[in-house]
A and B are shown apart, each in its own frame.
Chain A
Amino acid sequence: MADRVTPTVRLVFACDKADIDPGDQKWVLKHPWSVVVLPPGAAFPFQADNVRVYAQFTGGVGTFELAVELFQVRDDDSRRWVGRSVPATLDFPGGQQLLAFDTAFQIKKARFREPGIYEFRATVDGHQLEGAHFLLRVLDRWA
């Protein structure tokens, strides 16, 4: 068996709340996002106090430096890189590739300079992981 197999992202999305239930140690998620608007009185450029991104990984073997990157999606579908989180070390033990590993990125002070579509990607060792990614539409106000 290979010493190191890069994991795949099975699920990734942002939501209102992501907390571990102390009773069963499982993630409890509230209100997944697809579109968000700025709070009353706010304007672009906007710095979100908190964005919680839930992510689930499978198929990995080895230790990886896991990070989340944010891109702004332009009208021509090209990407403008916004930033990358400080990596966190994640260990995928061998022989457990069928097991899903899930975590949530508690992203503070994420910056959105203008309305549009933003993409969250999970990366390991600086490379984008295969599998799911998350697109978030950010509006200045609800029509």
Chain B
Amino acid sequence: MTMNDQPGKNEFERVCKTLPPVEVDCSGWESDIPDEAWSTGEFVSPTVALPAVEADCSHWLDEPATWLELVIAFNDHTSPADALESTNQLIGAVHAEAPRLGLAYDFRHSRREGEDLILALRPTGAGTEQELRDLAARVRLPHAAPFKRTAARVGHGAA
């Protein structure tokens, strides 16, 4: 089945008003060259029509099977500003460690566990679950203040 054979339901309806064509005669342009000097005809567009590219996006909002979890605890009396800045730096460093995974903040799985903050980062790019595991094993997380404790692990969705 080609794209053009898809059933019409669930398709966008275009909101547009068709205006009549506007005819333009340009024969007076570039008049410094005499009319008889102009070669005439129709342009040829030498493109090659490739087959349509189908993209199934139905899984875009699916629950991810696995994600990276950063476990963070802050020292007592850490200011909110320090906590936010350090967390941002941490996420940036982890993302830079494996850019092809396209790690993005996962608000559904980010949570609090006791005094630990669990930051979930969901892969949105290429990569396998094993790459996520490798990243969790190798990524070097800061342990100095304002962090009391940091760790990386892989979280799992319901099977």
Contact = CB atoms under 8 A, between A and B. Distances in A.
A9 interface: no
Contact of A38 (B15, B24, B44): B44
Nearest to A101: B17
A16 interface: yes
Q: Is the interface of A mostly helix, strand, loop or mixed?
A: strand
Contact of A105 (B21, B30, B46): B21
A127 interface: no
A31 to B, nearest CB: 6
Interface string A88-111: 101000001011111111111111
A18 interface: yes
A78 B158 CA distance: 60
B8 to A, nearest CB: 13
B30 A82 contact: yes
Contact of B19 (A41, A68, A82, A101): A101
Contacts of A33: 43, 45, 47
Interface of B: 14-30, 33, 37-47
